Structure 1
Amino acid sequence: MSDSIVIIPTYNERENISEMIDVVMKQPSSFHLLIVDDGSPDGTGALVKAKIEEFPGRIFIEERSGKLGLGTAYIHGFRWALKKDYQFIFEMDADFSHNPEDLNRLYSACKNDGNDMAIGSRYVTGVNVVNWPMSRVMLSYFASHYVRMVTGMPINDTTAGFKCYRRSVLETISLDEVRFMGYAFQIEMKFLTWKFGFKINEVPIIFTDRTRGESKMSSGIIKEAVFGVIQIKLGSLFTTYRRPMEVSTEASAS
């Protein structure tokens, strides 16, 4: 039994998913892999099932009926993983924009270095992005700056989607109350992790834009992120962030 599982949401990723699975399975940390597929009409699910037979006990699939959104896919995966005995739970894209070999570095940052969240960061050592037009690089970079300015989070890559969580983080965050399901989901999860006082580390990675398949980015996703950040900040002003252990300790002391 592995202590770690990688969650990859998919929608129409048949051009990438088989190769992605093969590379993840070859990593020295012996990761398990959960694919959350939103009813891909291109047959992504069938390719995953073929890989399940090839790697029994290491690959799993959860199939949902229709395109329900990135955030809901991850939350579905988080709930699934928390029911199991996984101690480290990862988010990663299917399109090779995240290098599967970097999973090992995120894993080490949490398991060996004592961090509760490790972020695969594009901006902690400059700008490490390949194959993006300059306009998109600037949009992403300044979006992270905007998020830091509004929220106060001491994180360089606030919109990153390549992450490792220690189990305790996802057990503390009330997943039912996560409000955003698009691009702002990534921001909100980091914000909640930070506000609850968990230890966060940014691991420098090189982000490479997809070369196969279609991007899921849209103007609606960007709009949600811009206005969602303000809502996240305003909501935090009326919220007390305490881990369950802190609350029980105070109750015992009284």
Structure 2
Amino acid sequence: MTQHTAPLQRVAVLIPTYNEAENIEWIVGRVRAATPQVDVVVLDDNSPDGTGEIADRLAAADPQVHVLHRKGKEGLGRAYLAGFAWALENGYDAAVEMDADGSHQPEQLPRLLAAADAGADLVLGSRWIPGGSVVNWPVDRQLISRLGNLYIKIALGMPLNDATGGYRVYRAEALRSMDLTTVDSVGYCFQVDMAWRAVRGGLRVVEVPIEFIERERGNSKMNGDIVRESLVRVSRWAVEHRLGQVRRALPGGSA
């Protein structure tokens, strides 16, 4: 577990985008209004709809808005890793993950930051703990998310109720303690991967209830390939973890 001696001073809110022209100005404005002390970093994967150009205009008008232009669509994980590297290189105390579509409400960010200020290494905005909720999700979508998180919890022995959620705060020390160079999860399994690394690393992970709102504008990036990637990777990690436990339990096994 990392040791914290000072409250967060500099926070970077990372917002990955691909074809979010309808949402980017709206969401950046909400972040700046709800948490004027933070900086916003748009991670644009060369959106053909002009999202990057809109972000550049916002950055030109506001010194607390920055844009990282990436060469193309490489997946959520690669975008966030680029954002983490930028935040660490530029001396930020924490990095926030937030979707561009409004499903993660900027107005709830202060409660996540408060939990990080109180000593959490990683703060998860959780839909599936008391006080958490989802809006405009059909029952089958809720069931898939709940069952998926239950499988992750059981398979990995991870004491988290919403390991797949993408609204979260990482302290810089926590990111530095993880071996980010070995992260190769591309889709939304990236969120499980990072939470699993934090738990295995003995970091303090805290879940804070949020209200998740399904996007109203633009197209969702969720698809069957993302779900399949998550199931395959989680199952593989579970097997590797169990085998590692067995090896350590054998005579002469490594600690």
TM-score, reference length from structure 2: 0.90
Seen in structure 2, the aligned counterparts of structure 1 residues 180 and 28 have a Cα distance that, compared at 3 Å, is: closer
Write the deviation string for residues 72-119 of structure 1: whole angstroms up to 9, x where unpaired: 0000101111101111111010000000011111111001x1111111
Residue matched to 2:5: none
Return 159-168 or 21-30, whichever deviates more: 21-30
SS of the counterpart of 2:34?
coil
Task: Work out the CA distance in 1 between the residues paired with 2:99 and 2:140.
Answer: 22
Match status 1:102 vs 2:108: yes
Residue matched to 1:30: 37
Write the deviation string for residues 154-208 of structure 1: whole angstroms up to 9, x where unpaired: 0011100000001111101111111311121100100000110011110000000
SS of the counterpart of 2:137?
coil
Residue matched to 1:77: 83
Match status 1:9 vs 2:6: no
Match status 1:129 vs 2:138: no
Seen in structure 2, the aligned counterparts of structure 1 residues 165 and 239 have a Cα distance that, compared at 3 Å, is: farther
**2:126, 2:132 within 8 Å by CA — same for their partners in 1?**
no
Task: Work out the CA distance in 1 between the residues paired with 2:88 and 2:239.
Answer: 29
SS of the counterpart of 1:202?
strand
Query: Offset at 1:239?
Result: 6.8
In the alignment of these two chains, the number of paired residues is: 238
Residue matched to 1:229: 234
Residue matched to 1:144: 149
Residue matched to 1:167: 172
RMSD of the TM alignment (CA)?
A: 1.6
* 1:54 counterpart (39, 54, 61): 61
**2:131, 2:210 within 8 Å by CA — same for their partners in 1?**
no
Task: Work out the CA distance in 2 between the residues paired with 1:15 and 1:29.
Answer: 22
**1:188, 1:232 within 8 Å by CA — same for their partners in 2?**
no
Task: Work out the CA distance in 2 between the residues paired with 1:28 and 1:7.
Answer: 14
SS of the counterpart of 1:60?
strand
TM-score, reference length from structure 1: 0.90
Query: Offset at 1:126?
Result: 6.5
- Structure 1: stretches of 5+ with no match in the other structure: 241-254
Match status 1:93 vs 2:102: no
SS of the counterpart of 1:26?
helix
Task: Work out the CA distance in 2 between the residues paired with 1:97 and 1:103.
Answer: 12
Residue matched to 1:252: none
Seen in structure 2, the aligned counterparts of structure 1 residues 127 and 136 have a Cα distance that, compared at 3 Å, is: farther
The 5-angstrom pairing of residues 170-185 of structure 1 reads 170-185=175-190
Task: Work out the CA distance in 2 between the residues paired with 1:223 and 1:91.
Answer: 23
Q: Which residue identity lines up with residue 97 of structure 1 in the other structure?
A: S
SS of the counterpart of 2:110?
helix
Match status 1:63 vs 2:43: no
- Structure 2: stretches of 5+ with no match in the other structure: 1-7, 246-255
* 1:117 counterpart (122, 136, 155): 122
Write the deviation string for residues 2-41 of structure 1: whole angstroms up to 9, x where unpaired: 5101001000001100011111111245110111100100
**2:178, 2:198 within 8 Å by CA — same for their partners in 1?**
yes
Write the deviation string for residues 122-163 of structure 1: whole angstroms up to 9, x where unpaired: 001166110111111100111000100100110011100000
Residue matched to 1:248: none
Task: Work out the CA distance in 2 between the residues paired with 1:146 and 1:50.
Answer: 43
Return 230-239 or 127-136, whichever deviates more: 230-239
Q: Which residue identity lines up with residue 54 of structure 1 in the other structure?
A: A
